[in-house]
Amino acid sequence: MMITNLQIAMSGCLFLLGLCSCIAGLWTILSRQYQQVLKSISAQSAKVSSKAVTDAGLAPLIEALSGLVKAVDQLIRTSVGVGVFLCLVGVMLCLVAFWILPGL
């Protein structure tokens, strides 16, 4: 009887942990926090590029802005990858929680 209660408690904890992991993964995937930054940097980059036609000293700044846009794009891809990983781990934890449950 004691082992059954322990299995149920462990299963419940694993299921809650898996559920939290799935929610965190979906939150990471669906959040649009970096996309606003990317749009803002792209808009500023367009403004600087139009001024660079007349001023040759702004060429290094344009290259830096281009590198910054690439870095933010890579950050978005990485955060989506982390979100997918969290969702998969959450599903696996939920499946393990059901596997641990004793035959009721």
- pLDDT digit string (tens) for the chain, length 104 residues: 788 888 999 999 999 999 999 999 999 888 877 777 777 777 777 776 666 666 667 777 777 777 887 888 888 888 889 999 999 999 999 999 999 887 75
The 10s digit of each residue's pLDDT in 27-45 is 988 887 777 777 777 777 7
What percent of the chain clears pLDDT 70, i.e. is strictly above it?
89
What are the extents of the domains in the chain? 40-104
* 73: Cα separation from own chain's centroid: 13
| Angle subtended at Cα 38 by Cα 20 and Cα 33, rounded to the nearest 5 degrees | 25
As a residue count, the chain comes to 104
Q: Count each helix (H run) and each strand (E run) in the chain, helices first.
A: 3, 0
